[in-house]
């Protein structure tokens, strides 16, 4: 049975989340503060954390960051009030895998939670054998990425994204395909999460590259999606489209 941790200080929302999720077969532990959430996450083995960003004791983003570093394999979904777009972007950059806006509809919550759990670490995208694109090497079994021989620390979704793009270097991959393969076929929300993850991926690859000008390049194809450039294409075309 999947184990969920809810970190939410609002009594009404917290109790609705707890009772709804329990009624649908999940084991739920509810914490009302950021510190409580961090302690509980460290002590228990949770598959997924639902994290409210507006917490009384700690900044939700900070909680998100700490949870991500201490629980790399736990799915982290932030809960945010509608229209707090900046919070969503910052939360995703701080390591969240997904977000839901409040008030959360039960059908959407259940669909997302189930989708994330289905795609747990073992079932995430994993092409056979190492994949090499120029000086970029992807080790699907270990879920590790190396650039110029140095490991690039990537989060779960960042790894899934680069692995998906690297399946066909030089080929365009549509946003729909990326959302379906890396997130879920029944994606309800905004695809902003995709752009945020791509941005983080680019930044990490540039930072890790021995020569940033030769970093693997992910081009944006407006209105379509993204493409991981083959190294020779990146090298010839210095007019970056990113
Ligand atoms: Ca709150």
CA of 7 to the centre of ligand 1 (A): 9
pTM strictly above 0.75: no
B/e letters for 97-121, b = 16+ CB within 10 Å, e = fewer, are: bbbbbbebeeeebbebbbbbbebee
User: In this structure, are residues 130 and 116 in contact, taking their beta carbons and an 8 Å threshold?
Assistant: no
Average pLDDT over residues 14-25: 94
CA of 98 to the centre of ligand 1 (A): 18
- Around ion ligand 1, residues with a beta carbon closer than 5 Å are 9, 52, 54
Q: Which two tokens stand for residue 5?
A: 């941790």
| Nearest by Cα to 55 from 36, 72, 74, 40 | 36
CA of 115 to the centre of ligand 1 (A): 25
CA of 11 to the centre of ligand 1 (A): 9
203: number of Cβ within 10 Å: 12
Name the β-bridge partners of 220: 226
Segment holding 106, helix H or strand E: helix 106-118
CA of 113 to the centre of ligand 1 (A): 20
CA of 101 to the centre of ligand 1 (A): 12
Cis (ω within 30 of 0) for the bond into 103?
A: yes
Running DSSP on this structure, what letter comes out for residue 123?
Answer: G
- Using alpha carbons only, give the angle 45, 47, 52 rounded to the nearest 5 degrees: 100
Average pLDDT over residues 165-191: 79
**SS3 of residue 144 by DSSP:** strand
CA of 60 to the centre of ligand 1 (A): 9
| Nearest by Cα to 136 from 114, 161, 166 | 166
CA of 154 to the centre of ligand 1 (A): 29
Structural domains of the chain sorted by starting position, each given as residue range(s) with its CATH number in brackets = 3-119 (3.40.50.2300), 131-236 (1.10.10.10)
CA of 233 to the centre of ligand 1 (A): 48
Cβ partners under 8 Å of residue 13, min gap 6: 52, 79, 102, 103, 104
User: In this structure, are residues 226 and 178 in contact, taking their beta carbons and an 8 Å threshold?
Assistant: yes
**Strands, E assignment, 82-201:** 98-102, 131-133, 136-139, 144-147, 150-152, 172-174
CA of 54 to the centre of ligand 1 (A): 4
Residue pLDDT, tens place only, 131-163: 888 889 998 878 899 998 899 999 888 999 999
CA of 36 to the centre of ligand 1 (A): 14
Residue pLDDT, tens place only, 73-118: 899 999 988 667 778 888 888 888 888 888 888 888 998 898 888 8
Q: How confident is the model at residue 188 (pLDDT cuts 50, 70, 90)?
A: low
What is the predicted pLDDT for the residue at 131?
Answer: 86
CA of 61 to the centre of ligand 1 (A): 12
CA of 90 to the centre of ligand 1 (A): 17
- Using alpha carbons only, give the angle 114, 121, 145 rounded to the nearest 5 degrees: 140
């Amino acid at each position: 049975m999947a184990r969920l941790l809810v970190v939410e200080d609002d009594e009404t929302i917290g109790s609705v989340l707890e009772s709804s999720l329990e009624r649908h077969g999940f084991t739920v532990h509810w914490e009302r503060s950021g510190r409580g959430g961090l302690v509980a996450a460290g002590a228990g083995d949770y598959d997924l954390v639902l994290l409210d960003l507006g917490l009384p004791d700690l900044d939700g983003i900070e909680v998100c960051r700490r949870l991500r570093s201490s629980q790399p394999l736990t799915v982290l979904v932030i809960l945010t009030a509608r229209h707090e777009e900046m919070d969503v972007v910052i939360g995703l950059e701080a390591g969240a895998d997904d977000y839901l806006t409040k008030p959360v509809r039960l059908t959407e919550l259940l669909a997302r939670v189930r989708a994330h759990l289905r795609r747990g670490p073992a079932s995430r995208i994993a092409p056979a054998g190492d994949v090499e694109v120029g000086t970029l090497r992807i080790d699907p079994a270990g879920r590790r990425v190396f650039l110029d021989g140095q490991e690039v620390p990537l989060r779960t979704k960042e790894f899934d994204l680069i692995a998906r793009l690297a399946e066909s270097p030089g080929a365009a991959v549509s946003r729909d395909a990326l959302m379906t393969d890396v997130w879920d076929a029944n994606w309800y929300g905004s695809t902003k999460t995709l752009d945020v993850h791509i941005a983080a991926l680019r930044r990490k690859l540039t930072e890790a590259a021995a020569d940033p000008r030769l970093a693997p390049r992910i081009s944006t194809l407006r209105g379509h999606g993204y493409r991981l450039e083959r190294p020779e294409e990146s090298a010839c075309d210095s007019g970056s489209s990113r």
